[in-house]
Each structure stands twice: as C-alpha cells, then as structure tokens.
Amino acid sequence: MAKARDIPGIEPDATFREAAASAIEVRADEVFSFRDRALDTSDIEGVHDMRVATRRLRAVMEIFAVCFPKEQHRRALKEVKELADALGDRRDPDVMIDGLEAVAKGLGPADRSGIRQLERSLRDEQAEANERLAAMLDRIDRYRLRERLVALAAEARLG
Amino acid sequence: MKARKVKGLDPDGPLVVNMQRVIAVRIDELFGFIPAALDPANVTELHDMRIAAKRLRYLLELSQPLFGQPARKAAKVVKDLQDLLGEIHDCDELMPLVDRHVDGLRRADAASVVAATEPGADDLDPALVKDAPHRSHYRGLELLTVHARARRDLLHGRFVREWGELEERGFRDELEAALHPVEPPPEGE
C-alpha cells in the first residue's frame, strides 16, 4: 500500500483554510497518480492504492468541508464517494477470494469444489465491476473532477 | 454512517484549534459505540464503530505535524482497532454472501430436478435428486460458513479483550492528551 504523502500546509501556524487547500491538492494528486494502474487486472495493488488514496481524499474533504463553497464541495464529494464505491466493488472480491482460498487449502478435494465455484462467481462479478470502474473513470475525466478539486482548493485559499 | 456535525469550526481560525475540535467529536463518536459493540449480535454498531475508527485514524494521521508522537501512537492504536473491526465485518459480509450463493444453487438444482421428471408426473421421484448438478458443492460451502462464523466469534472475543485492555490503560485520556500542540524547542537548542 502506498504511503500517504506529507501535506506541506499542515503546520502549527496555518489557518484551517490554508491547510484545507493544501490537503485537497495533495490528496487529489495522489488519487489521480494511480489512475492508469487501476484498471490493470494483473496489478491488484493499483486498484488498492487508488482506493486508499480516494478514502484519504474523502477524509480531508469531510474534515475541511466548512472551508469550501458548499455546492461545488457537495457535488465533488458525491463523485469521490461514487469513485470509492466503484473501486471497492472492484477490490473487495480480491480480498474475499484470498479468504476463500485460505479455507479451501485446508479442505479435501471434495469439499473444495463448492468454494472454487463461489470463487468463479466472484471473478465474474469482479469483471463486471471492472467495467463499471472503467465507465466511472471515463466519467470523472469527462466532468473534469480533478480540475474541479483543484478549483476547490483555490476557492478555499481565497476565502 | 453519517459523521456527527462539528460545531464552531472557523475557516480563518488556527488549524490546531479547529483540528482539536474535530478530533474531540470523533473521539466521542468512537466511544459512543461502547457498550453496544461489545455485544456480538450488534452487527450494525460494530460496522459503524469501524467507520468511526477510520475517521479518527485519518484525522490523527493528518494531525501528526501538529501533535507529534502522541498523535502518531494514537493513530496506530486506532488503526489496529479499525483493522480488527474490519476483519469482523468481512465475516459479516461473507456469511450472507455464501447464503445467497447456496440459495441460488438450490434454486438451479430444483429447476434441474423438475426438468428431469417424466412429462405429466404427479409427484417427484426422490431418486432424481442424486443427479442435481450442484450436489457436490454444498458441503464445502457449509464448511465455509462454519469457518466464517467461528472466526467471527473468535475475533469478536479478541475485540472485547483488547478494548478492555485499552480502557484499563486509560486510552481515552491518552487520546485526549495527544491533542496538545508540539512545543517548539527552547531558544538556543
């Protein structure tokens, strides 16, 4: 899992809004740095890293909510949550399948077959989730979420 | 779970003071799930406590440059708590997922057995069930549910034990004490 980047604006003498602006810039940048790896099904860490980065972005958007223009913030936060959900739907089956495999290993071949079948069904769901994630990433590009997050940071600085 | 609103935040006020306010509310929120989360039957409260732990953890991590080592240590404890509640949540998610999957297999098998009956039959021949397509799948899936239930019981027991240890050592006081700004070094050092 990628370590969170330090936020230069989190300093003892900063105001809440200065920190808000810095935090959203750094965390948004982190999210989009994983964008190209998120759909690569051979790289399970890509989607995980983007999901964790999205959670961190969401956290700072909620913590500093009072520093941003209400409507723009509400809309951007809604999209960040939708992105987090799409990443979760894509990632959760990996975790579940790992758990199933750990149990299956301890069973005899006859008992394993049902678990293997459930794994296949989860893989099918995951493939669908990957398509939904691709559509979501296209949408956030089309509606320029990244640019709107940067604009939120600028608004926070202006006050 | 919707986070509790934090009153009195001032965008133009000092970051430290605002963060202290937010963290104090999130600490209160986390502890508000006790004693409900100590009852293993309270699935929703356990799930919500995990979310509350996650919110507090991100806040503490973010605040490390303000509150220093105590905030770092507190964040680690809260992360461990969040992880444990997450493992319990995974079991709570897995069990209904397996139930739904088994229900789907049962329906498919029943349809297949009905399809194998003689046209116009008045009743079902019991022997047909031995050819149900998914007959070999049920046992492993039952064992999977048994595993998830047993693991959940064990993890919840661990949660109760670890929470008791945290309370005994005064973890809430530790968290609240972590909210003091880092002192600058004295002149000349």
Domain of A84: which CATH number?
Answer: 1.40.20.10
Tell me if A128 is assigned to some domain: yes
Which domain range does residue B166 map to?
Answer: 15-118+126-177
CA of B124 to nearest chain A CA: how many angstroms apart? 26
Statement: residue B189 has pLDDT above 60: no
Is A12 within 8 Å of B64 (Cβ atoms)? Answer: no
Q: Cα(B162)–Cα(B164) distance, rounded to whole angstroms?
A: 5
- State how far the Cα of B31 lies from the Cα of B174, in Å rounded to an integer: 13
Give B101 to chain A, closest Cα distance, Å.
7
With a cut of 70, say whether residue B27 has pLDDT above it.
Answer: yes
The pLDDT value given to residue A1: 65
Question: Is residue A9 included in any domain, yes or no?
Answer: no
pLDDT tens sequence across B99-154: 999 999 999 999 999 999 999 999 999 999 999 999 999 999 999 999 999 999 99
Neighbour-count burial of A120, counting CB atoms closer than 10 A to its CB (0-12 exposed, 13-18 middle, 19+ buried): exposed
Look at residue B14 and give its three-state secondary structure.
Answer: strand
Distance CA B185, CA B189 (A): 7
Euclidean distance between CA atoms A30 and A8, whole angstroms: 14
Residue A35: how many CA atoms within 13 Å on its side-chain side? Answer: 16
What is the average per-residue pLDDT within B165-185?
A: 88
What confidence score (pLDDT) does residue B188 get? 61
Q: Is residue B187 part of a domain?
A: no
* pLDDT score at B187: 65
pLDDT of B61 strictly over 80: yes
Parent domain of A44: 16-158
Say if A83 falls within a structural domain. Answer: yes
Collect all residues of chain A within an 8 Å Cβ-Cβ radius of residue B137. 113-114, 117
CB contact under 8 A, B12 and A95: no
| Cβ-based contacts under 8 A for chains A and B | 102
Closest partner CB to A4 (pick from B14, B61, B181): B61
Q: Tell me how close the Cα of A145 comes to any Cα of chain B, in angstroms.
A: 22
- For residue B98, is it within any domain? yes
CB contact under 8 A, B140 and A121: no
- Name the residue among B12, B22, B137 with its Cβ closest to that of A15: B12
User: Which chain A residue has the Cα nearest residue B184?
Assistant: A12
pLDDT for position A159: 81
Domains of chain B: total:
1
Q: What's the rounded Cα separation, in Å, for the pair B13 and A17?
A: 8
Q: B25 in a domain, yes or no?
A: yes
The average pLDDT across B40-54 equals 97
Spatial CB neighbours of A151, under 8 Å, sequence gap ≥ 6: A72
A52 falls within a domain:
yes
Give a yes or no: residue A7 inside a domain: no
Q: Which phi and psi angles does A103 have, rounded to 5°? A: -70, -45
Tokens (6 digits) for A3: 């370590």
* Residue whose token pair is 């919707």: B2
A112 vs B contacts (CB less than 8 Å)? 140
Residues of chain A with pLDDT under 70: 1
Query: What are the backbone angles phi and psi of residue B11, rounded to the nearest 5°?
Result: -55, -30
| Domain assignment present for A5 | no
The C-alpha atoms of residue A21 and residue A15 are separated, in whole angstroms, by 10
| Structural domain total, chain A | 1
B24-41 burial, b at 16+ Cβ within 10 Å, e below that, comes to ebbbebbeebeeebeeee
Q: In this structure, is residue B185 part of a structural domain? A: no
Give pLDDT, residue B87: 97
In a domain, B135, yes or no: yes
- Give me the amino acid identity at B15: L
Q: How would you class B85 by CB atoms within 10 Å of its CB: exposed for 0-12, middle for 13-18, buried for 19 or more?
A: buried
A77-90 per-residue burial string, b: 16 or more CB within 10 A, e: under 16: bebbeebbbbbebb
Q: Is the pLDDT of residue B94 over 90?
A: yes
Q: From the list B9, B11, B137, which residue is nearest A114 (CB)? A: B137
Rounded to whole angstroms, the Cα distance separating B78 from B72 reads: 10
| Contact B166/A at CB under 8 A | no
Is A36 within a domain?
yes
Rounded to whole angstroms, the Cα distance separating B15 from A19 reads: 7
From residue B39, alpha-carbon distances to B32, B34, B53, B160, B174 in Å are: 14, 9, 18, 9, 25
**pLDDT of B184:** 62
**For residue A9, what pLDDT is reported?**
87
What distance in Å separates the CA atoms of residue B22 and residue B24, rounded to the nearest whole number?
A: 6
Give ipTM to 2 decimals: 0.91
Please tell me the distance in Å from A84's CA to the nearest CA on chain B: 14
- Whether B186 is covered by a domain: the verdict is no
How much is the mean pLDDT over chain B? 94
pLDDT digits (tens, 9 = 90+) for A62-93: 999 999 999 999 999 999 999 999 999 999 99
Distance from the Cα of B136 to chain A's closest Cα (Å) equals 7
Does residue B182 lie in a domain region? no
Residues of A near B (Cβ–Cβ under 8 Å) read 4, 6-7, 10-20, 23, 55-56, 59-60, 62-63, 66-67, 95-96, 99-100, 103-104, 107, 110-115, 117-118, 121, 156, 159
